[in-house]
Amino acid sequence: MPSREPSRPATVAQAVAGGLVAGAAFPDVGWWPAAMVGVALLALSLRRDSARWAALVGFAWGLAFFLPHIHWLYVSVGVVPWVALSVTEAGFVAAFGASWVWIRRIPVLARRPNVRAVLFAVAWVTFEQARSIVPFGGFPWGRLAFSQTGGPLLPFASLGGAVLVSGLVAACGALLAQGWVFLRTRDPRRGAAAIGAAVVLVACGLLIPLPGGGGSPEAMAESGTLRLAAVQGNVARPGLDAFSTRLEVLRNHVAGTDAVVDEVGTGALDVILWPENASDVDPRADGPTAALVDGAARRAGAPILVGTLRYDDLGRYNDAVLWVAGEGPVAVYTKQHPAPFAEYIPIRGIARIFSDKVDLVRTDMLPGTEVGVVPLDVERLGRTVPLAVVICFEVAYVSIVRDAVDAGGEIIVVQTNNASFGRTPESTQQLAMTRFRAVEHGRTAVQVSTVGVSGIISPDGTVRRSTGLFTAEQMIDEVPLRTSITTATRLGSWPALAAALVTAGAVAAGVAAHAAGRATAPAPAHQPTGRRS
């Protein structure tokens, strides 16, 4: 006999529980199966045949997920931006819920539960991708794929990137929901088959080959190795005023570089990596700052990749500058995707109504236009090594990282500054994204932060080294350089485009099937003539 539908309040409560459970899959909790359970609870909450109700349920799931997941935004800039962004992102889950009801009305899906699970997953990644693009360039934080860096689905990143991994998480959640429904309706065979299919999908990740060699850099290397250090200088105090003391943070990174030299000696490294905002004073425009940077590079006997800011008559820019002792800046990458409402303020007049913190951003940051490849001359190797460099939140945007790798980057460098987010999981969430990109593109990835968490990740996703939060630390390592292109890198945006086309077609088919069903329904025997209820 069919299971009775839960009441509407119970359905919303179930959706809220699903959003909270899904959040536990991400750092700092990091229990990766929770993402599938959270999606399963959402799927169960969407069983009523009403698109408007499904939108409400999806919105409830989205709020329950995003409010805790990006709580670090409240710590950084306050309640209004935190709630506004959470509401915006939850709106995409609401749109997914409504679309799923229309898709589910395709008649053949009633007899094809496995196809239902696939279309559920395809629709999910379509809306996940949509919120990664709009509004204001999108906000990819919280993609299900980023919750799987500690689980067996991570190797799928090398085949289809975040679209494939998120899709597999959503498909597993849909299968778990179907299995539960079948078990409740006393159909144990089909219930076990659905749950078993989810288990098989997860286990398949163990069969995907990744760069091996037992973790040996030489075994993973395709074009030699790079000897590097990443310096986390720390700040005197967290928060928005962490950089209020001129040159203090720069001196911290100089001191960290000198500590590296004390450990390995002059000339032992090929490059030293500093984080975003390691020097808020531009060494290209300020003599004392240039002297500090140049002195550190000279004592190290290695170039330094310096995170700094640049100003001109139009605005300011977030730059990664490669500095060689005695020569100064030899290459630069400018951040392509400044963070809206943090590094620049869209619709400033309207935004000011909701928060006066927008006026803390006095000069809007402007985007760079060049792909993030910084050429590093390595005398030991006798050649130039292209570094794929991205800055801060850019690691969340698939096209920015992919373009840099596709342009020849042999190692991924993520410069970031997490000082304003306090002791929240923001930095570990970002490190999970860096870990995902390492596997997705088959590259060593180094995340270097002003305050942590910093990390060095092998192309197979292994975290080789990491630092604490709000500590002054250095990481020294020899890492593999690679030139081969993964399937995910080669496919580019095609998986996302294909998912969007399938979703649009499925929604259209569901709308058409519903309209056809209403057109062929028998007319009522008696047409009421009184008032409509």
Instruction: Kindly give, in sequence order, each residue whose CB lies less than 8 Å from that of residue 79, ignoring residues fewer than 6 positions away.
Output: none
The total number of residues written for the chain in this structure: 533
First to last CA, the chain: 32
What H or E segment, with its residue span, contains residue 273?
Answer: strand 271-273
Chain-centre distance of CA 43, in angstroms?
23
Active-site residue 335, yes or no? Answer: yes
Buried b / exposed e over 416-448, threshold 16 CB at 10 Å, is bbbbbbbebbbbbbbbbbbbbbbbbbbbbbbbb
Are 65 and 85 spatial neighbours (Cβ–Cβ below 8 Å)? no
Report the amino acid identity of residue 255. Answer: A
**Alpha-carbon span 97 to 289, nearest angstrom:** 54
Handedness of CA 216, 218, 223, 229 (dihedral sign): positive
Distance of alpha carbon 527 from alpha carbon 18, whole angstroms = 43
Confidence (pTM): 0.93
- Kindly report the number of other CB atoms within 10 A of residue 241's CB atom: 12
Token output for 478? 């020899």
Give dist(CA 1, CA 101) in Å, integer: 23
Q: What is the pLDDT of residue 350?
A: 63
Token pair, residue 208, equals 């995907």
296 neighbors 269 (Cβ within 8 angstroms): no
Joined tokens for residue 347: 């619709």
Structure-token pair, residue 283 = 């060494």
- Alpha-carbon gap, residue 303 to 320, rounded angstroms: 12
Per-residue tens of pLDDT for the chain, all 533 residues = 344 677 899 999 999 999 999 999 999 999 999 999 999 999 999 999 899 999 999 999 999 999 999 999 998 888 888 999 999 999 999 999 999 999 999 999 988 989 999 999 999 999 999 999 999 899 999 999 999 999 999 999 999 999 999 999 999 999 999 999 999 998 999 999 999 999 999 999 999 999 876 678 888 999 999 999 999 999 987 655 555 566 899 999 999 999 999 999 999 999 999 999 999 899 999 999 999 999 999 999 999 999 999 999 888 999 999 999 999 999 999 999 998 877 766 766 666 656 666 666 678 889 999 999 999 999 999 999 999 999 999 999 999 999 999 999 999 999 999 998 999 999 999 999 999 999 999 999 999 999 999 999 999 999 999 999 999 999 999 999 999 999 999 999 999 999 999 999 999 999 999 888 777 666 555 444 444 33
The HSE-up count of residue 204 (CA atoms within 13 Å, CB side) is 13
Is 357 among the residues known to form the active site?
no
How many C-beta atoms surround the C-beta of residue 257 within 10 A? Answer: 26
Among 128, 357, 392, 426, the active-site one is: 392
What are the percentages of helix, strand and coil residues in the chain, rounded to 5?
Answer: 50, 15, 35
SS3 425: coil
Distance CA 88, CA 98 (A): 16
Options 276, 343, 410, 473, the catalytic residue: 276
List the catalytic residue out of 335, 410, 426, 473.
335
**Order of strands, sheet of 225-232, starting from the edge strand that comes earlier in the sequence:** 328-334, 316-324, 304-311, 271-273, 225-232, 473-480
Other C-beta atoms closer than 10 Å to the C-beta of 300 total 24
Give the closest residue to 85 by CA, choosing from 95, 72, 99, 98. 72
Using CB atoms within 10 Å of the CB of residue 364, give its burial: 0 to 12 exposed, 13 to 18 middle, 19+ buried.
Answer: middle
| Helix axis angle, 79-104 to 494-520, nearest 10° | 60
Quick one: tokens of 293? 């940077």
Between CA 77 and CA 141 the distance in angstroms is 17
* Whole-number Å distance between alpha carbons of 152 and 203: 7
Q: Phi first, then psi: give them for residue 447, nearest 5 degrees.
A: -105, 120
172 is catalytic: no
